[in-house]
């Protein structure tokens, strides 16, 4: 048995992502060294944001897929952290306590295979449909359709052995609404490098290329990967002053109200992580076509 400590993970700070990715690297290394029983201790953790929940859930399923066992030491989990893990259903998913119940969490969810109807319902009702964001039904449906493309990428091209893991959170004091989707597949940079037959493409350049593709971004007819154009979702994020962050292998991208960022990730992530942050203000958001009508 080997034990790794989970530190306090800051909310929406790139350092928190890197701390989680470091844990991922340590667990993968431990498995390669023959460790089959891995424990996570939360004694030093006083806060665990939504994106950390998705990564830890993904790690548990990934170790399981590889014939290992990742054990959460529930007795070491801070009361506040545990309450949230019970509320969003994460603890119950891994055999501890009851839940979920309705609160500020977007429920923890695992999808091993594509289930379009269920996922779209989850996005429409559990994420955008809780009254935290004032948005028209038509615009909500358009955004949900683009986020569904993120899931589609995984199921059709990502080759993730665990499918997708999702979780989110409404942070009332910060006026923010988040959703994170994680997979442990081949990663966007690898797909782009294979498509171009150039292993020298950096993770930063690969993500930039993916985001520059058209709104529909389907490349199947050319035998290539689906991109991350995401059209109206990017436009809405900029208007809303939110952000879209993507970590995949050695690449990092941040799309928002300021100039887009594409750079090398300081700690690689095996797979892809997409975090969407929306601002919950008093504005009412609609499609431009709805205003014209």
> Tokens 């990428």 identify what position?
153
What's residue 9's pLDDT?
96
| More confidently predicted of 202 and 289 | 202
What's residue 229's pLDDT?
64
Confidence of residue 5 (pLDDT cuts 50, 70, 90): very high
What percent of the chain is helix, strand and coil (3-state, nearest 5)? 40, 25, 35
> Which tens digit of pLDDT belongs to each residue from 240-279?
999 999 999 999 999 998 899 999 999 999 999 999 999 9
Q: For the chain, what percent of residues have pLDDT higher than 70?
A: 94
Say if CB 279 and CB 242 are below 8 A apart. Answer: yes
Confidence of residue 205 (pLDDT cuts 50, 70, 90): very high
Per-residue pLDDT for 142 more than 50?
Answer: yes
Sign of CA dihedral 232, 238, 242, 244: positive
* Cis amide prior to 97 (ω within 30 degrees): no
Output the average pLDDT for the chain: 91
What's residue 217's pLDDT?
35
Per-residue pLDDT for 19 more than 80?
Answer: yes
What's residue 227's pLDDT?
60
Confidence of residue 290 (pLDDT cuts 50, 70, 90): confident
Average pLDDT over residues 172-188: 95
Question: 135: which DSSP letter?
Answer: B
CA distance 26 to 102: 34
Distances (CA, A) of 137 to 9, 130, 144: 34, 12, 10
What's residue 215's pLDDT?
30
What's residue 293's pLDDT?
57
What's residue 248's pLDDT?
96
For 215, what's the count of Cα atoms within 13 Å in the CB-facing half-sphere?
Answer: 9
What's residue 226's pLDDT?
55
Residue 253 CA to its chain's centroid (Å): 13
pTM of the model: 0.92
> Which tens digit of pLDDT belongs to each residue from 211-250?
885 433 345 445 555 566 678 898 999 999 999 999 999 9
Per-residue pLDDT for 79 more than 50?
Answer: yes
> Which tens digit of pLDDT belongs to each residue from 23-61?
999 999 999 999 999 999 999 999 999 999 999 999 999
What's residue 264's pLDDT?
97
Residue 242 phi/psi, 5° resolution?
Answer: -95, -155
Mark out the alpha helices in the chain (DSSP H runs).
14-32, 50-65, 79-87, 90-93, 116-121, 137-153, 188-196, 203-212, 231-240, 288-292
Q: For the chain, what percent of residues have pLDDT higher than 90?
A: 78
What's residue 180's pLDDT?
98
What's residue 156's pLDDT?
82
Distances (CA, A) of 264 to 207, 225, 248, 268: 10, 21, 10, 9
């Amino acid at each position: 048995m080997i034990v790794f400590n989970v530190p306090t993970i800051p909310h929406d700070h790139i350092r928190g992502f890197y701390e989680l990715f470091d844990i991922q690297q340590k667990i993968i290394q431990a498995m390669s060294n023959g460790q089959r029983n891995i424990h996570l201790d939360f004694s030093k953790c006083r806060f665990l944001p939504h994106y950390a929940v998705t990564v830890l859930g993904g790690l548990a399923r990934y170790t399981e897929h590889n014939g290992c066992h990742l054990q959460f030491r529930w007795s070491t989990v801070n009361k506040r952290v545990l309450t949230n893990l019970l509320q969003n259903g994460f603890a119950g998913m891994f055999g501890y306590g009851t839940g979920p119940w309705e609160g500020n969490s977007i429920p923890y969810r695992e999808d091993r295979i594509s289930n379009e109807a269920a996922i779209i319902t989850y996005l429409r009702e559990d994420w955008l449909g809780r009254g935290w964001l004032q948005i028209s039904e038509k615009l909500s449906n358009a955004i949900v359709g683009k986020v569904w493309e993120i899931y589609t990428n995984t199921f059709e091209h990502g080759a993730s052995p665990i499918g997708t893991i999702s979780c989110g959170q409404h942070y009332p004091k910060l006026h923010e609404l988040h959703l994170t989707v994680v997979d442990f597949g081949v990663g966007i940079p690898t797909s782009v490098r294979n498509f171009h037959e150039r292993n020298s493409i950096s993770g930063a350049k690969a993500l930039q290329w993916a985001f520059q593709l058209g709104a529909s971004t389907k490349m199947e007819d050319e035998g290539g990967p689906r991109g991350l154009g995401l059209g109206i979702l990017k436009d809405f994020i900029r208007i809303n002053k939110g952000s879209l962050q993507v970590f995949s292998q050695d690449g990092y991208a941040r799309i928002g109200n300021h100039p887009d960022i594409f750079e090398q990730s300081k700690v690689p992530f095996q797979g892809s992580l997409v975090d969407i942050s929306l601002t919950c203000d008093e504005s009412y958001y609609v499609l431009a076509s709805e205003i014209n009508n």
